[in-house]
Amino acid sequence: MRQTVGVSVARYRPEQEAEPVFQDYEVPFRKDWVVLDALNYIKDRLDGSLSFRWSCRMGVCGSCGMMVNGQPKLTCAAFLSDQGEGPIRVEPLRFFPVIRDLVVDITDFMRKLKKVKPWIVRETEKPVAEGEYLQTPDQLDAYKQFSMCINCLLCYSACPIYGLEPTFVGPAAIALAQRYNMDSRDQGARERLEILSHKDGMWECTFVGECTKACPKHVDPAGAIQQYKLASAAHWFKTLLPLGSR
Amino acid sequence: MSAGVGYTPYHPRWYRRRVSVWWWMESRSYTGFVLREISSVAVAFFAVVLIALLRALARGPEAYARFAAALASPLMLAASLVAFLFVLFHAVTWFHLAPTAMVVRVRGKRVPDAVILGSNYLAWIVLTAAVAFILLRG
């Protein structure tokens, strides 16, 4: 087995470069190492100036998303042995402004996420003394898949629509809106529909389907968006009927 | 860009990469997606031809014969062949996306993707057979 593997890392030091350049490193090739281990090796042993985000190392925190050989991946889950011969190309998540090296600015997503009200909206809250809002296993099952999102933003980097139209609300935010719409305890579906029916909302999506393939938690944002479109169209048809809801 | 974050000597600028006009060549699935979108033009072409055919039919046998002759020209035959291939691609790719867009639940359980996909193909075969029967029985 080979002893080392090349890693080609995109560097962007705004005080030094006008645009990113690649820097090559040689790291030990170990079967149990993921790309994040290689980056930490570089940071610890070879070049302390390399900047990247990471935290949990186990696919929960969603902060180590990067482009690995051109594909959006959680670097903590991308084994060196799965990346071909090398050198392994590591770049910051695509379609986001790069702050430094592999660190991107996700403010745009945070703003969009807040806009779709990803929390339980009630018309009137019932008093705490009356207890919890109960839910059956089937009701939980209806939205559980969409609740697995860790906001890692791989889906945004996989979505060419987001790249071309940065105002698009995007896969994860719409999937999370749908997660709350489908929650039996929630009553905010109409508020969210108004927000997501405008031109930067769900209709901007043309069903490329790459977001679902990129998602490390099997959330299926493409499915969520298409199901949302269907529900929205059905709602619109109902408003046309004389006794339909408005 | 973050609102309220000022420029400092150590944080002078964000780097934004422009999306290349060739982005759809970057991966096979992107190319497939763009071809699927373009295939809508072929679907529209078939619809227009069909409407024109109905109009020629309504105008009488002479108009219909003229229209049929125009359809038999090599250019129209080539266009129809290309359009047919695109329409096939359109139908098949959308069928394969149907299970993602349509979630059908029976007694609380989600109907498997293969069943949704299979029922689309089944409906296609049944309808094609019905049309073929009507056309070929005389």
Q: How many domains does chain A have?
A: 2
Can you read off the two tokens belonging to residue A74?
């959680």
The answer to whether residues A48 and A139 belong to one domain is no
Residue A210 and residue B24: Cβ atoms within 8 Å?
no
Q: Does A11 touch chain B (CB under 8 A)?
A: no
The answer to whether residues A63 and A77 belong to one domain is yes
Q: Torsion angle, CA of A72/A75/A76/A79, rounded to 10 degrees?
A: 100
Residue A16 buriedness (CB in 10 A; 0-12 / 13-18 / 19+): exposed
Residue B100 and residue A212: Cβ atoms within 8 Å?
yes
Task: State pTM to two decimals.
Answer: 0.89
The partner residue sitting opposite A226, judged by closest CB among B1, B23, B101, is B101
**Residue A69's domain spans which residues?**
4-104
Q: Which amino acid is at A168?
A: F
Give whole-number Cα distances, A44 to A49, A51, A87, B5, in Å: 10, 11, 20, 30
pLDDT at B2 over 90: no
Q: Tens digits of per-residue pLDDT, B85-110?
A: 999 999 999 999 998 888 888 887 78
The answer to whether residues A37 and A78 belong to one domain is yes
User: Would you put residue A78 in left (φ > 0), alpha (ψ -120 to 50) or beta?
Assistant: beta
Residue A229 forms part of a structural domain: yes
Q: Does A244 touch chain B (CB under 8 A)?
A: no
The answer to whether residues A99 and A114 belong to one domain is no
Q: Does B15 touch chain A (CB under 8 A)?
A: yes
Residue A212, phi then psi, degrees to nearest 5:
-65, -40
ipTM exceeding 0.85, yes/no: no
Nearest to A178, CA basis, from A159, A205, A160, A154:
A205
The pLDDT of residue B100 is: 86
pLDDT band at residue B75 under the 50/70/90 scheme? very high
Looking up residue A229, the CATH number of its domain turns out to be 1.10.1060.10
d(CA B58, CA B87): 26
* Last residue in a domain, options A104, A130, A164: A104
Residue A246 forms part of a structural domain: no
The answer to whether residues A113 and A229 belong to one domain is yes
Choose the mutation target among B100, B105, B106, B110 for the interface with A, i.e. most A CBs under 10 Å: B100
Nearest to A145, CA basis, from A74, A59, A218, A225:
A218
The pLDDT of residue A241 is: 85
Residue B28 buriedness (CB in 10 A; 0-12 / 13-18 / 19+): exposed
The partner residue sitting opposite B100, judged by closest CB among A15, A164, A226, is A226
Residue A245 forms part of a structural domain: no
Cα B37 → chain centroid: 6
Give whole-number Cα distances, A199 to A170, B5, B40, in Å: 12, 28, 21
The answer to whether residues A143 and A49 belong to one domain is no
The partner residue sitting opposite B23, judged by closest CB among A160, A226, A227, is A160
Looking up residue A64, the CATH number of its domain turns out to be 3.10.20.30
The answer to whether residues A96 and A147 belong to one domain is no
Residue A15 forms part of a structural domain: yes
The answer to whether residues A178 and A89 belong to one domain is no
* Last residue in a domain, options A67, A87, A104: A104
The answer to whether residues A85 and A164 belong to one domain is no
The answer to whether residues A122 and A93 belong to one domain is no
3-state secondary structure of A104: strand
Give me the domains of chain B, ranges plus CATH numbers: 18-85 (1.20.1300.10)
pLDDT in tens, chain A (246 residues): 789 999 999 999 988 888 999 999 999 999 999 999 999 999 999 999 999 999 999 999 999 999 999 999 999 999 999 998 889 999 999 999 999 999 999 999 999 999 999 999 999 989 999 999 999 998 999 899 999 999 999 999 999 999 999 999 999 999 999 999 999 999 999 999 999 998 899 999 999 999 999 999 999 999 999 999 988 998 888 888 877 554
The pLDDT of residue A235 is: 87
pLDDT at B6 over 70: no
Q: Which amino acid is at A209?
A: G
Residue B30 and residue A208: Cβ atoms within 8 Å?
yes
